[in-house]
Structure 1
């Protein structure tokens, strides 16, 4: 008979290492799971490294039983999330939990209850999760698409977690979709005509980013993002420190051909960011960069001596059009032009054959319409839940 479950807070470096390692043991048998880089996860949960802690705080808990670590969870409060209007998912007394892993239902129930207790002590009366640990990291629980691996910066979890979370009294409040498409095929004739029309419009310029001006270009993209997404459900503006942090992490997988900025009469009004699927390149590293993982990953990122990797999949994590143009024909035209130009280069220069777009909010009709117009199909669904405490 299994022993009692004990839950401890991971505070020391050694305890946080255990916290990271739990995920590796519990998911090792899942062929679709991609081991994250352990250094990246340690940075995510460490104040002083992750600038999220400049506007949030949290605790990280490990469940143990019979001398083994059998689960983990985070409980956190993002003060920018709490400042959001309730109709956008926030609220002054709303906290989050995430990074959920559990060996069985009993462990899962104990961890969720412990996270809820922590949130109540912090004065919260509503829990929204899983959020791991920011909406910009890995939001939502995977509820569809367990049969294939996630792309870069997307989560993966056991299918049974859905049952355990709902058994704890949680109800789904928002679904996030990713869309899959074969990028070796040309888009439908209507989309081709829209792109061709845009190419004849001398007011429109679609340009590549210039990685040699990385900081300047990153600031421009994030400024458009913060404007374009500001009314979206769950939107939390990125701080200057977070922009710098994200830029440092993303720079090795940023390639000029895969990020486009759309300008109208010289004004930057839209962007599309595409990343080669880093998960393909790190799947066999088992989360370790040292002693040889770093060399392997660097070699793959550089495509040997070519300067660019060869990948099967590219992912579009972010796209945005300034609010003043949203719901206009021009906005969709700019989007289709950027998608088409990046599609061409992804195939011709990176050897890609598959694209994944998202995540996209289930009720973001503008983006859903664009995804459907290029004949992409939903391949993964992530669900965010809430519960009154």
Structure 2
């Protein structure tokens, strides 16, 4: 019979990070997370999320064998911003055994209840600014960069525990030659019209990355403030994420809209680094992982359109079309084979309709669930 083990030291933390590698060792679509990145993320003092949050990690073990894991998370900024007492669960992985998942989820739920939370929401690793959602449709390939992956049986485990749907998230796919490039043909005219209002579209300047990141943070927190569950990133959180992204950033796919030096929108697509990570055993960069990473970057032929937002007051002026047009133009010029636009809220027609009009095919769906405690 399984027992619950709270993670209290580095050795147990390593087991927590490594468990999915064993669980999915025979799954050709599983992509391991980099060990060093996961270790830093889950270590208080390393990641700035912990400055306003509380977290407890749990393992489920049968004898010496690990059979599941989960994190109970209290996001202080979420509760303060929304004026709620809602807890989260994340980093959930389990063998296909209801008794094991029951033990794990009970451990997370009880810990949150002890800390006076009235609801449990997830899976969310740490917040909606990070990897979140349970894959419920589209199990026919590996996930793209910074998107979740799980076995189909997870939904049954969670629903049998009492979780119900909170919201579904969407991922759209474009394949080479199977999308509308109308925004590219209109790009010059649209940008000329914007320039009459002193609005210009340009690439990110990596030589001034620190200054660019500070301005992008402000736009990000304003442009996404109406999204369900969104909580503004702290300065330190945004900088931490920006520095991570900088390592994979390709300036052909990162564009800024500004008016007289003031940023009013931006679009970011990142190379699908998972094409390389899927080949790095157990997420270890040494001894061979780093070489695979360095040599593989030039061979990546897919992107994830991660962010595209315009601040209120500048929407519906054509900025969004120009940002999409720039990314599509670069996508064609580089002969990339696919792009994923993800994720979007299922009921966000203002975002979903343009994606569909360009030719995006809804091919994956993810669910965030909730349960009263």
* TM-score normalised according to structure 1 size: 0.91
Per-residue deviation, 1:45: 0.8
Equivalent residue number for residue 297 of structure 1: 293
Equivalent residue number for residue 57 of structure 2: 60
Q: Which moved more, 1:34-43 or 1:68-77?
A: 34-43
- Paired residue total: 368
Q: 2:346 aligns with which of 327, 338, 362?
A: 362
In structure 1, the gaps of 5 or more residues are 86-90, 302-308
Equivalent residue number for residue 362 of structure 2: 378
Per-residue deviation, 1:42: 1.0
* 8 Å Cα contact 2:181-2:328 kept in structure 1: no
Is 1:76 the equivalent of 2:73?
yes
Q: 2:146 aligns with which of 139, 149, 153?
A: 153
* 8 Å Cα contact 2:179-2:360 kept in structure 1: no
User: After superposition, what is the alpha-carbon deviation per residue over 1:261-312, rounded to whole angstroms, capped at 9, x for unaligned?
Assistant: 11245532110001000100121111110122112212333xxxxxxx2322
* 8 Å Cα contact 2:184-2:328 kept in structure 1: no
In structure 2, the gaps of 5 or more residues are none
Is 1:335 the equivalent of 2:310?
no
Per-residue deviation, 1:77: 0.1
The SS at the match of 2:330 is helix
For residues 185 and 335 of structure 1, what CA distance do their matches in structure 2 show?
20
For residues 346 and 139 of structure 1, what CA distance do their matches in structure 2 show?
26
Equivalent residue number for residue 324 of structure 1: 313
Structure 1 vs Structure 2 CA RMSD: 1.6
Equivalent residue number for residue 180 of structure 2: 187
The 5 Å alignment of 1:95-134 reads 95-103=87-95, 104-134=97-127
Per-residue deviation, 1:54: 0.9
* 8 Å Cα contact 1:275-1:314 kept in structure 2: yes
Is 1:275 the equivalent of 2:275?
no
For residues 291 and 280 of structure 1, what CA distance do their matches in structure 2 show?
19
The 5 Å alignment of 1:237-252 reads 237-252=232-247
* 8 Å Cα contact 1:211-1:254 kept in structure 2: no
* 8 Å Cα contact 1:172-1:385 kept in structure 2: yes
For residues 326 and 314 of structure 2, what CA distance do their matches in structure 1 show?
21
* 8 Å Cα contact 1:177-1:359 kept in structure 2: yes
User: After superposition, what is the alpha-carbon deviation per residue over 1:89-119, rounded to whole angstroms, capped at 9, x for unaligned?
Assistant: xx52110011111112221111111110111
Q: Which moved more, 1:238-247 or 1:155-164?
A: 238-247
Equivalent residue number for residue 93 of structure 1: 85
Equivalent residue number for residue 155 of structure 2: 162
Equivalent residue number for residue 306 of structure 1: none
The alpha-carbon distance between structure 1 residues 12 and 314, as it changes in their structure 2 partners (threshold 3 A), is same
* 8 Å Cα contact 1:176-1:359 kept in structure 2: yes
* TM-score normalised according to structure 2 size: 0.94
User: After superposition, what is the alpha-carbon deviation per residue over 1:161-200, rounded to whole angstroms, capped at 9, x for unaligned?
Assistant: 00110111111011111110124456254x4565343033
For residues 97 and 186 of structure 1, what CA distance do their matches in structure 2 show?
37
For residues 90 and 263 of structure 2, what CA distance do their matches in structure 1 show?
36
User: After superposition, what is the alpha-carbon deviation per residue over 1:23-57, rounded to whole angstroms, capped at 9, x for unaligned?
Assistant: 11111111111111111111111111111001111
Per-residue deviation, 1:213: 1.0
For residues 183 and 215 of structure 1, what CA distance do their matches in structure 2 show?
34
